[in-house]
Structure 1
Amino acid sequence: MEKPCIILLGAPGSGKGTRAPILSEILGIPQIATGDLFRKNLKEMTPIGKIAKSYIDNGELVPDSVTADMLKQRLQEPDAQNGFLLDGFPRTIVQAEMLDKILEQQD
């Protein structure tokens, strides 16, 4: 059986955040939200968190490549090896293409 890789898409207020933890628990896979990844990496001042912080401190958007690197690191953690549920990524076609490359590298 292939591992479930679920992406929740929807407008703000559409219920992604409500449904994600339920699906995560039922399927036994981690819910990975990009907002949570940013908060964790910034709080722990990880190398990628420091890079993100430099953009944030300058009032700039964090580049997609930094977000993708953060996600790539998270997907390498043991709990994500049997599947995962993404909440908040990808938001754009460019991010979707980055995710596709990340997943190809994992196979």
Structure 2
Amino acid sequence: CVKKNGVLILVAQCKEGAGSKRFWDDMGIYYSSEEVKHDLLKNFFIGRHKTYYLLKAKEKLRMLLVSEFDEATTHRFAFEKSENPQKALDTAFEMLGRDAKVLVSPWGSTTLAKKI
């Protein structure tokens, strides 16, 4: 539900890392959703769709991550690092203006948003 050119802020501890080895590897070799789509259509792998959707989101909006990840890991997964939630919000408001709408989803990984 994030508008094009909007900002997505993900606050996640990530203490167990970023997911599977395949996801880690894929995020290091693909730079666009079209590249992933091309390969998926030739040879589908379970899990590669996450790479596709993450890169697709990156192409439409800016994504900020507040986590324990270092700068290099954060960039590998198509995010920009923010030190804390407040700094991430400040960055988003600087980009979009103080009147920008904000949606907070405390259980984002298990929530399916619906535009009304």
Q: Shared topology, TM-score over 0.5?
A: no
TM-score computed with the length of structure 2 as normaliser: 0.30
Structure whose CA Rg is larger = 2
Structure of higher RCO (CA pairs closer than 8 Å, 6+ residues apart): 1
- Give TM-score scaled by structure 1 length: 0.31
Q: Which has a greater percent of helix?
A: 1
